Amino acid sequence: MAEKRIVLQNCGFIDPEDISSYVENDGFAALAKARKMGPEAVIAEIKASKLKGRGGAGFPCGLKWEMARRASGDEKYLVCNADEGEVGAFKDRYIIQNDPFSLVEGIVIASFAIGAKKAYIYLRAEYHYLRDTLKAAVQQAAERGILQGLEIELKEGAGAYVCGEESALMNSIEGRRGEVRFKPPFPPVSGLFGQPTVINNVETLVNIPRIIWRGAAWFAGIGTKDSAGTKVFSVSGDVEKPGVYELPLGSKLNEVVRELAGANDIKLVQVGGATGSIVTESMLDTPLSYETLLGSGAIIVLNSTRDVIDYVYRTIAFLNEESCGKCTPCREGTEVLAEVLGRLTSGDGFPDDIKTLAELSQAMNISSLCGLGQAAPVPVLDSLKYFKHDYENRIKQSVFLRKVGFA
């Protein structure tokens, strides 16, 4: 299966530092069209395209815009979430590095549609080197009169994975600790500084000019019934060709990891980053879509030599370090999971460990405050589902070694 480049159509074909090369490639034509259509028609077009959020949660984009447009507020904000912190995700970096202008165009159209006079780009601190690229792109667009009164401000993160979660991101822009907020109220009703706010991922926004230019029907015709368009995947781990690949939604995992990225020995694949689901070798025919599995599109491949428990431990240790610490289940739960998994990794397991992991994971999954805490135990639950033998054997080994005095 070949790639289908829609989001990435300009990557490699324009000069990321020079707006004129973007304009020559029909750049900002979609914006001109959007301005003629008017905000309501733009929102209707995006709704008809069935575009869903590409950051991981998959909320219908047009609906989000409509909620914000209809909400009352002194001011409205558009926020571009460029806090790509998910483990194994680097597609937004790739987009900004190669085509920052499409992102600017998407931001201007989105702001026009919802009625925002101010837009923020929240860029993660780890991507500080992209700051000048983005600033220059915004500056060049402003000089050409493209922004028409819209102010685009670049805000930099300061090193916190959780700030990719939209409520934590807003707290961070407000100069606070990046702790999550409870919902409702949802951001389109009351978000940044208590005003109606739309937060869209980089890839979502880059899809906007494409949809406006070529029409909702064209876009909705790509992918599956409930997953329209393409998805940009970041593939890494035990593969020959790690990198960014764009395919129609509904493509099989096999096509990405085997045919494109060149994985030839697969024990498991984690789809969606640290909080993503685990897929085993026998399930590689699974289509990648919102109905099945997708997340942010981060795909990490582990080969047959990898230790599942060690991998799950590292993943949970990451989430333990990155939990904002506001709610009990995530703050304390990731700590407890790390304790159990750390022991199991070093061969110090106990018969109750599997039960403890399963029960705690279940509770965290339904009672944590935000999506991060709720999804944190997913790799634990999935690995218990597909690799329970590994856990059982590790515990038996531990019990035996203790019995003979080796632990």
Question: Which is closer to other proteins, CB of 18 or CB of 339?
Answer: 339
| Residue with Cβ nearer other proteins (51 or 192) | 192
Q: Please say which residue, 25 or 356, places its beta carbon nearer to other proteins.
A: 356
Report the nearest approach of other proteins to the CB of residue 308 (Å).
12
Q: Which residue has the tokens 């001109």?
A: 32
Smallest distance from other proteins to CB 406, Å: 22
Query: Which residue, 339 or 392, has its beta carbon nearer to other proteins?
Result: 339
Instruction: Using CB atoms within 10 Å of the CB of residue 285, give its burial: 0 to 12 exposed, 13 to 18 middle, 19+ buried.
Output: exposed
Q: Of 93 and 210, which has the nearer Cβ to other proteins?
A: 93
Q: Cβ closer to other proteins: 219 or 233?
A: 233
Least distance in Å: CB of 334 to other proteins? Answer: 7
- Residue 191 gets which letter from DSSP? -
CB of 175 to other proteins, least distance (A): 4
Q: Supply the DSSP string of 313-347, one letter for each residue.
A: HHHHHHHHHH--S-SHHHHHHHHHHHHHHHHHHTT
Q: What minimum distance in Å lies between the beta carbon of 403 and other proteins?
A: 22
CB-wise, 332 or 390, nearer to other proteins?
A: 332
> How many angstroms separate the Cα of 381 from the Cα of each of 275, 283, 360?
11, 17, 10
Instruction: Report the b/e string of 110-141 with b at 16+ CB within 10 A.
Output: bbbbbbbebbbbbbbeebeebeebbeebbebb
Rounded Cα gap, residues 52 and 166, in angstroms? 16
Tokens 């939604």 locate to: 249
Give min distance, CB of 375 to other proteins, in A.
11
Q: Which is nearer to other proteins, 230 or 315 (CB)?
A: 315
Minimum distance, C-beta of residue 144 to other proteins, in the bound complex (Å) = 28
Residue 319 in tokens? 């989430």
Cβ neighbours of residue 404 under 8 Å, at least 6 residues apart? none
Contacts of 45 (CB under 8 A, 6+ apart): 37, 62, 211, 212, 215, 216
Please provide the DSSP assignment of 366-394 as one string: HH-SSHHHHHTTHHHHHHHHH-HHHHHHH
Q: Is the Cβ–Cβ distance between 162 and 322 less than 8 Å?
A: yes
CA 324 to chain centre: 18
We find the least distance from the C-beta atom of residue 22 to other proteins, in angstroms, to be 24
Structure-token match 């989430």, residue found: 319
Minimal distance in Å, beta carbon 96 to other proteins?
11
d(CA 373, CA 359): 15
Q: Please identify, using beta-carbon distances, which residue of 46 and 192 lies nearer to other proteins.
A: 192
